[in-house]
Amino acid sequence: MTDTDATIARLPKAELHVHIEGTLEPELMFALARRNNVRLAHSDVAALRRAYAFTNLQDFLDLYYQGMSVLLHEADFYDLAMAYFRKAASQNVRYVEFFFDPQGHTSRGIAFETVIAGLARAQADAEAQLGLASRMIMCFLRHLDEADAERTLDQALKHKDKIIGIGLDSSEVGYPPSRFKNVFRRAREEGFLLVAHAGEEGPPNYVWEAIDVLGIDRIDHGNRALEDAALVKRLAKDGLALTVCPLSNLRLCVVKDMKDHPLRRMIDAGLKVTINSDDPAYFGGYMNENFASVGSALGLSADHLMQIARNGFEASFMPAHMKEAALDAFDQAIRSPAV
Ligand code: HPA
Ligand code: ZN
Protein backbone atom coordinates (compact mmCIF):
# COMPACT_ATOMS: atom_id res chain seq x y z
CA MET A 1 0.00 0.00 0.00
CA THR A 2 1.42 3.41 -0.95
CA ASP A 3 1.35 6.39 1.41
CA THR A 4 -1.45 7.83 -0.69
CA ASP A 5 -3.47 4.62 -0.46
CA ALA A 6 -3.05 4.70 3.32
CA THR A 7 -4.16 8.34 3.44
CA ILE A 8 -7.22 7.54 1.33
CA ALA A 9 -8.09 4.51 3.45
CA ARG A 10 -7.97 6.60 6.63
CA LEU A 11 -10.01 9.52 5.29
CA PRO A 12 -13.58 9.50 6.59
CA LYS A 13 -15.77 9.41 3.50
CA ALA A 14 -19.38 10.05 2.50
CA GLU A 15 -20.77 8.28 -0.55
CA LEU A 16 -23.49 10.21 -2.39
CA HIS A 17 -23.76 8.33 -5.68
CA VAL A 18 -24.16 4.58 -5.46
CA HIS A 19 -26.97 2.51 -6.98
CA ILE A 20 -27.69 -0.21 -4.46
CA GLU A 21 -28.53 -2.62 -7.31
CA GLY A 22 -25.09 -1.79 -8.75
CA THR A 23 -23.41 -3.18 -5.63
CA LEU A 24 -24.61 -6.71 -6.44
CA GLU A 25 -21.36 -8.66 -6.68
CA PRO A 26 -21.41 -11.68 -9.05
CA GLU A 27 -20.88 -14.10 -6.13
CA LEU A 28 -23.99 -12.82 -4.34
CA MET A 29 -25.91 -12.73 -7.63
CA PHE A 30 -25.24 -16.43 -8.17
CA ALA A 31 -26.01 -17.26 -4.53
CA LEU A 32 -29.38 -15.48 -4.78
CA ALA A 33 -30.07 -17.12 -8.16
CA ARG A 34 -29.62 -20.52 -6.49
CA ARG A 35 -31.70 -19.54 -3.47
CA ASN A 36 -34.53 -18.23 -5.66
CA ASN A 37 -34.34 -20.70 -8.54
CA VAL A 38 -33.59 -17.98 -11.05
CA ARG A 39 -31.72 -18.86 -14.25
CA LEU A 40 -28.97 -16.45 -15.20
CA ALA A 41 -27.74 -15.87 -18.75
CA HIS A 42 -24.10 -16.55 -17.77
CA SER A 43 -22.88 -19.94 -16.63
CA ASP A 44 -20.77 -18.81 -13.68
CA VAL A 45 -19.10 -15.90 -11.91
CA ALA A 46 -16.06 -15.92 -14.22
CA ALA A 47 -18.20 -15.81 -17.37
CA LEU A 48 -20.27 -12.99 -15.93
CA ARG A 49 -17.19 -10.97 -15.00
CA ARG A 50 -15.83 -11.47 -18.53
CA ALA A 51 -19.04 -9.88 -19.84
CA TYR A 52 -18.32 -6.71 -17.84
CA ALA A 53 -16.55 -5.11 -20.79
CA PHE A 54 -18.70 -2.12 -21.66
CA THR A 55 -18.40 0.38 -24.47
CA ASN A 56 -21.12 2.74 -23.26
CA LEU A 57 -23.82 3.27 -20.63
CA GLN A 58 -26.43 1.12 -22.39
CA ASP A 59 -24.10 -1.91 -22.56
CA PHE A 60 -23.83 -1.75 -18.81
CA LEU A 61 -27.52 -1.09 -18.18
CA ASP A 62 -28.49 -4.21 -20.13
CA LEU A 63 -26.49 -6.37 -17.70
CA TYR A 64 -27.51 -4.29 -14.68
CA TYR A 65 -31.22 -4.94 -15.32
CA GLN A 66 -30.51 -8.65 -15.94
CA GLY A 67 -28.63 -8.85 -12.66
CA MET A 68 -31.60 -7.49 -10.73
CA SER A 69 -33.67 -10.52 -11.72
CA VAL A 70 -32.33 -12.46 -8.73
CA LEU A 71 -33.83 -9.96 -6.26
CA LEU A 72 -37.26 -11.28 -5.33
CA HIS A 73 -37.81 -11.24 -1.59
CA GLU A 74 -37.32 -8.83 1.29
CA ALA A 75 -34.32 -10.87 2.45
CA ASP A 76 -32.66 -10.47 -0.95
CA PHE A 77 -32.81 -6.68 -0.75
CA TYR A 78 -31.56 -6.90 2.84
CA ASP A 79 -28.60 -9.10 1.87
CA LEU A 80 -27.74 -6.88 -1.07
CA ALA A 81 -27.69 -3.68 0.99
CA MET A 82 -26.00 -5.25 4.00
CA ALA A 83 -23.13 -6.57 1.87
CA TYR A 84 -22.58 -3.08 0.47
CA PHE A 85 -22.76 -1.44 3.91
CA ARG A 86 -20.14 -3.87 5.27
CA LYS A 87 -17.83 -3.12 2.37
CA ALA A 88 -18.37 0.64 2.69
CA ALA A 89 -17.74 0.59 6.45
CA SER A 90 -14.53 -1.38 5.89
CA GLN A 91 -13.31 1.51 3.71
CA ASN A 92 -14.10 4.11 6.36
CA VAL A 93 -17.23 5.35 4.63
CA ARG A 94 -19.17 7.01 7.43
CA TYR A 95 -22.31 8.08 5.63
CA VAL A 96 -24.18 6.98 2.49
CA GLU A 97 -26.97 8.36 0.34
CA PHE A 98 -27.83 5.47 -1.95
CA PHE A 99 -30.10 5.22 -4.99
CA PHE A 100 -32.57 2.49 -5.68
CA ASP A 101 -34.60 1.83 -8.84
CA PRO A 102 -38.08 0.68 -7.79
CA GLN A 103 -39.33 0.46 -11.37
CA GLY A 104 -36.64 -2.14 -12.05
CA HIS A 105 -38.46 -4.30 -9.50
CA THR A 106 -42.15 -3.37 -9.69
CA SER A 107 -41.99 -4.02 -13.46
CA ARG A 108 -41.05 -7.64 -12.57
CA GLY A 109 -43.94 -8.02 -10.15
CA ILE A 110 -42.01 -7.29 -6.95
CA ALA A 111 -43.98 -5.15 -4.51
CA PHE A 112 -42.64 -1.66 -3.80
CA GLU A 113 -43.06 -2.46 -0.11
CA THR A 114 -40.82 -5.53 -0.36
CA VAL A 115 -37.96 -3.43 -1.73
CA ILE A 116 -38.32 -0.71 0.91
CA ALA A 117 -38.66 -3.18 3.78
CA GLY A 118 -35.46 -5.07 2.93
CA LEU A 119 -33.41 -1.93 2.34
CA ALA A 120 -34.71 -0.21 5.48
CA ARG A 121 -33.97 -3.22 7.68
CA ALA A 122 -30.40 -3.29 6.35
CA GLN A 123 -30.06 0.44 7.03
CA ALA A 124 -31.14 -0.04 10.65
CA ASP A 125 -28.71 -2.95 11.14
CA ALA A 126 -25.85 -1.06 9.46
CA GLU A 127 -26.39 1.86 11.76
CA ALA A 128 -26.57 -0.34 14.87
CA GLN A 129 -23.82 -2.83 14.00
CA LEU A 130 -21.43 -0.78 11.87
CA GLY A 131 -22.14 2.80 12.96
CA LEU A 132 -22.88 3.58 9.31
CA ALA A 133 -25.71 6.04 8.73
CA SER A 134 -27.48 6.03 5.38
CA ARG A 135 -30.44 7.55 3.57
CA MET A 136 -32.40 6.50 0.46
CA ILE A 137 -32.91 8.36 -2.81
CA MET A 138 -35.48 6.87 -5.17
CA CYS A 139 -34.67 7.17 -8.89
CA PHE A 140 -37.05 7.23 -11.82
CA LEU A 141 -35.92 5.27 -14.88
CA ARG A 142 -35.82 7.92 -17.60
CA HIS A 143 -36.32 5.44 -20.46
CA LEU A 144 -39.85 4.94 -19.08
CA ASP A 145 -42.47 7.67 -19.40
CA GLU A 146 -43.50 10.36 -16.95
CA ALA A 147 -46.79 8.61 -16.15
CA ASP A 148 -44.84 5.60 -14.85
CA ALA A 149 -42.71 7.95 -12.74
CA GLU A 150 -45.90 9.59 -11.40
CA ARG A 151 -47.25 6.20 -10.26
CA THR A 152 -43.90 5.44 -8.64
CA LEU A 153 -43.96 8.77 -6.80
CA ASP A 154 -47.45 7.93 -5.52
CA GLN A 155 -46.05 4.75 -3.96
CA ALA A 156 -43.23 6.67 -2.28
CA LEU A 157 -45.49 9.14 -0.50
CA LYS A 158 -46.16 6.89 2.46
CA HIS A 159 -42.43 6.33 2.91
CA LYS A 160 -41.32 9.93 3.31
CA ASP A 161 -39.78 8.94 6.63
CA LYS A 162 -37.34 6.72 4.70
CA ILE A 163 -36.94 8.24 1.23
CA ILE A 164 -35.32 11.67 1.39
CA GLY A 165 -34.90 12.43 -2.27
CA ILE A 166 -35.79 11.71 -5.86
CA GLY A 167 -33.32 11.12 -8.68
CA LEU A 168 -33.28 10.32 -12.39
CA ASP A 169 -31.16 7.58 -13.94
CA SER A 170 -30.88 4.97 -16.75
CA SER A 171 -30.32 5.66 -20.48
CA GLU A 172 -29.54 9.37 -20.82
CA VAL A 173 -29.22 10.36 -24.47
CA GLY A 174 -32.67 10.89 -26.00
CA TYR A 175 -34.30 11.19 -22.58
CA PRO A 176 -33.75 14.82 -21.44
CA PRO A 177 -34.65 15.89 -17.90
CA SER A 178 -37.47 18.13 -19.14
CA ARG A 179 -39.58 15.01 -19.88
CA PHE A 180 -39.96 14.71 -16.09
CA LYS A 181 -40.81 18.31 -15.33
CA ASN A 182 -44.23 17.68 -13.80
CA VAL A 183 -43.32 14.72 -11.63
CA PHE A 184 -40.26 16.52 -10.29
CA ARG A 185 -42.38 19.59 -9.50
CA ARG A 186 -44.78 17.39 -7.52
CA ALA A 187 -41.87 15.64 -5.77
CA ARG A 188 -40.54 19.05 -4.72
CA GLU A 189 -43.99 20.09 -3.43
CA GLU A 190 -44.11 16.84 -1.44
CA GLY A 191 -40.86 17.80 0.28
CA PHE A 192 -38.33 15.54 -1.47
CA LEU A 193 -34.85 16.78 -2.31
CA LEU A 194 -34.00 16.42 -6.00
CA VAL A 195 -31.04 15.12 -7.99
CA ALA A 196 -30.60 13.92 -11.57
CA HIS A 197 -27.97 12.14 -13.62
CA ALA A 198 -26.99 14.68 -16.26
CA GLY A 199 -23.98 15.22 -18.51
CA GLU A 200 -22.70 11.65 -18.15
CA GLU A 201 -23.26 10.92 -21.85
CA GLY A 202 -25.82 13.65 -22.49
CA PRO A 203 -24.97 17.20 -23.63
CA PRO A 204 -24.56 20.29 -21.44
CA ASN A 205 -28.14 21.25 -22.29
CA TYR A 206 -29.35 18.32 -20.17
CA VAL A 207 -27.46 19.77 -17.20
CA TRP A 208 -29.11 23.16 -17.80
CA GLU A 209 -32.50 21.42 -17.86
CA ALA A 210 -31.77 19.53 -14.65
CA ILE A 211 -31.02 22.87 -12.96
CA ASP A 212 -33.61 25.19 -14.54
CA VAL A 213 -36.48 22.85 -15.40
CA LEU A 214 -36.26 20.24 -12.62
CA GLY A 215 -34.72 22.50 -9.96
CA ILE A 216 -32.26 19.88 -8.72
CA ASP A 217 -30.19 20.31 -5.55
CA ARG A 218 -27.16 18.33 -6.77
CA ILE A 219 -25.93 16.93 -10.11
CA ASP A 220 -24.98 13.28 -10.64
CA HIS A 221 -21.91 13.04 -12.92
CA GLY A 222 -22.03 16.40 -14.76
CA ASN A 223 -18.84 15.69 -16.74
CA ARG A 224 -20.02 17.32 -19.94
CA ALA A 225 -20.91 20.56 -18.13
CA LEU A 226 -17.29 21.52 -18.76
CA GLU A 227 -18.09 21.99 -22.45
CA ASP A 228 -20.16 25.07 -21.60
CA ALA A 229 -18.38 27.95 -19.84
CA ALA A 230 -21.63 29.68 -18.86
CA LEU A 231 -22.86 26.46 -17.28
CA VAL A 232 -19.65 26.02 -15.29
CA LYS A 233 -20.06 29.57 -14.04
CA ARG A 234 -23.62 28.84 -12.99
CA LEU A 235 -22.69 25.61 -11.15
CA ALA A 236 -19.90 27.44 -9.32
CA LYS A 237 -22.07 30.45 -8.46
CA ASP A 238 -24.88 28.28 -7.07
CA GLY A 239 -22.44 25.95 -5.29
CA LEU A 240 -24.18 22.98 -6.94
CA ALA A 241 -22.15 19.89 -6.15
CA LEU A 242 -21.28 17.19 -8.68
CA THR A 243 -21.19 13.52 -7.67
CA VAL A 244 -18.33 12.33 -9.87
CA CYS A 245 -17.69 8.61 -10.47
CA PRO A 246 -14.20 8.10 -11.95
CA LEU A 247 -14.10 4.30 -12.42
CA SER A 248 -17.63 4.35 -13.83
CA ASN A 249 -16.55 7.00 -16.34
CA LEU A 250 -13.58 4.88 -17.36
CA ARG A 251 -15.48 1.61 -17.64
CA LEU A 252 -18.36 3.19 -19.59
CA CYS A 253 -15.92 4.97 -21.91
CA VAL A 254 -17.06 8.43 -20.83
CA VAL A 255 -13.29 9.03 -20.61
CA LYS A 256 -10.77 7.09 -22.72
CA ASP A 257 -8.06 7.15 -20.11
CA MET A 258 -8.15 8.14 -16.43
CA LYS A 259 -5.52 10.77 -17.27
CA ASP A 260 -8.24 12.51 -19.35
CA HIS A 261 -10.69 12.60 -16.47
CA PRO A 262 -12.18 16.10 -16.03
CA LEU A 263 -12.11 16.04 -12.21
CA ARG A 264 -9.04 18.22 -11.94
CA ARG A 265 -10.49 20.74 -14.39
CA MET A 266 -13.69 20.76 -12.36
CA ILE A 267 -11.74 21.59 -9.21
CA ASP A 268 -9.74 24.28 -10.99
CA ALA A 269 -13.00 25.80 -12.25
CA GLY A 270 -14.20 26.16 -8.66
CA LEU A 271 -16.79 23.38 -8.72
CA LYS A 272 -17.70 21.41 -5.64
CA VAL A 273 -16.80 17.84 -6.61
CA THR A 274 -17.23 14.60 -4.72
CA ILE A 275 -15.90 11.13 -5.57
CA ASN A 276 -18.27 8.16 -5.61
CA SER A 277 -18.48 4.56 -6.82
CA ASP A 278 -21.77 4.48 -8.85
CA ASP A 279 -22.04 0.69 -9.48
CA PRO A 280 -18.95 -0.70 -7.76
CA ALA A 281 -19.69 -4.38 -8.42
CA TYR A 282 -19.64 -3.66 -12.16
CA PHE A 283 -16.93 -1.02 -12.42
CA GLY A 284 -14.04 -2.54 -10.48
CA GLY A 285 -13.91 -0.53 -7.31
CA TYR A 286 -15.53 0.98 -4.25
CA MET A 287 -14.75 4.38 -2.72
CA ASN A 288 -11.06 3.87 -1.95
CA GLU A 289 -10.31 2.49 -5.40
CA ASN A 290 -12.07 5.46 -7.01
CA PHE A 291 -10.05 7.96 -4.95
CA ALA A 292 -6.80 6.09 -5.65
CA SER A 293 -7.28 5.65 -9.35
CA VAL A 294 -8.26 9.21 -10.23
CA GLY A 295 -5.87 10.61 -7.62
CA SER A 296 -2.83 8.92 -9.12
CA ALA A 297 -3.84 9.49 -12.77
CA LEU A 298 -4.31 13.23 -12.20
CA GLY A 299 -1.54 13.69 -9.65
CA LEU A 300 -3.90 14.99 -6.96
CA SER A 301 -2.26 16.06 -3.71
CA ALA A 302 -3.20 14.79 -0.25
CA ASP A 303 -4.86 18.19 0.29
CA HIS A 304 -6.97 17.73 -2.83
CA LEU A 305 -8.07 14.27 -1.71
CA MET A 306 -8.88 15.55 1.74
CA GLN A 307 -10.93 18.45 0.36
CA ILE A 308 -12.83 16.13 -2.00
CA ALA A 309 -13.63 13.76 0.87
CA ARG A 310 -14.79 16.72 2.98
CA ASN A 311 -16.97 17.90 0.09
CA GLY A 312 -18.85 14.59 0.36
CA PHE A 313 -20.11 15.55 3.80
CA GLU A 314 -20.71 19.19 2.81
CA ALA A 315 -22.71 18.25 -0.29
CA SER A 316 -24.76 15.63 1.56
CA PHE A 317 -28.43 16.02 2.42
CA MET A 318 -27.82 15.52 6.14
CA PRO A 319 -29.89 17.75 8.42
CA ALA A 320 -27.85 20.81 9.51
CA HIS A 321 -27.05 19.60 13.03
CA MET A 322 -25.89 16.20 11.75
CA LYS A 323 -23.77 17.78 9.01
CA GLU A 324 -22.07 20.08 11.48
CA ALA A 325 -21.21 17.12 13.71
CA ALA A 326 -19.97 15.08 10.74
CA LEU A 327 -17.73 17.92 9.55
CA ASP A 328 -16.35 18.40 13.07
CA ALA A 329 -15.61 14.67 13.26
CA PHE A 330 -13.97 14.82 9.83
CA ASP A 331 -11.74 17.76 10.81
CA GLN A 332 -10.80 16.03 14.04
CA ALA A 333 -9.94 12.79 12.23
CA ILE A 334 -7.66 14.46 9.71
CA ARG A 335 -5.87 16.39 12.47
CA SER A 336 -5.06 13.20 14.32
CA PRO A 337 -1.42 12.10 13.87
CA ALA A 338 -2.40 8.87 12.09
CA VAL A 339 -3.40 10.75 8.92
N1 HPA B 1 -25.96 6.11 -15.23
C2 HPA B 1 -27.28 6.07 -15.45
N3 HPA B 1 -28.07 5.18 -14.89
C4 HPA B 1 -27.55 4.29 -14.05
C5 HPA B 1 -26.21 4.28 -13.78
C6 HPA B 1 -25.37 5.24 -14.40
O7 HPA B 1 -24.13 5.31 -14.22
N8 HPA B 1 -26.01 3.27 -12.90
C9 HPA B 1 -27.21 2.70 -12.65
N10 HPA B 1 -28.14 3.32 -13.36
ZN1 ZN C 1 -25.23 6.62 -11.35
Domain ranges of the chain: 13-315
Q: Which residues pair with 223 in a beta bridge?
A: none
Return the pLDDT at 338. 60
Asked whether the CA dihedral 187, 62, 118, 83 is positive or negative, the reply is negative
Return the pLDDT at 2. 84
Question: Nearest-CA neighbor of 95 among 329, 306, 284?
Answer: 329
- Ligand 1 centre from 333 Cα, in Å? 32
Task: Please state which architecture CATH assigns to domain 13-315.
Answer: Alpha-Beta Barrel (3.20)
Question: Nearest-CA neighbor of 36 among 62, 78, 71, 81?
Answer: 71
Report yes or no: 249 and 223 within 8 Å, Cβ to Cβ. yes
| Alpha carbon nearest to ligand 1 atom 7, residue | 278
The finding on whether 220 has its CB within 6 A of some atom of ligand 1 is no
Q: Which residues surround ligand 2, an ion (CB under 5 A)?
A: 278
The finding on whether 13 has its CB within 6 A of some atom of ligand 1 is no
Ligand nearest to the CA of 252: 1
- Ligand 1 centre from 289 Cα, in Å? 19
pLDDT 10s digits, 40-78: 999 999 999 999 999 999 999 999 999 999 999 999 999
Return the pLDDT at 310. 98
Closest atom of ligand 1 to CA, residue 64: 9
Name the residues annotated as catalytic.
Answer: 200
Return the pLDDT at 15. 99
Report yes or no: 271 and 242 within 8 Å, Cβ to Cβ. yes
User: pTM surpassing 0.95?
Assistant: yes
The finding on whether 201 has its CB within 6 A of some atom of ligand 1 is no
Residues lower than pLDDT 50 in the chain: 339
Return the pLDDT at 336. 83
Return the pLDDT at 337. 65
Q: Which residues pair with 165 in a beta bridge?
A: 137, 193
The finding on whether 19 has its CB within 6 A of some atom of ligand 1 is yes
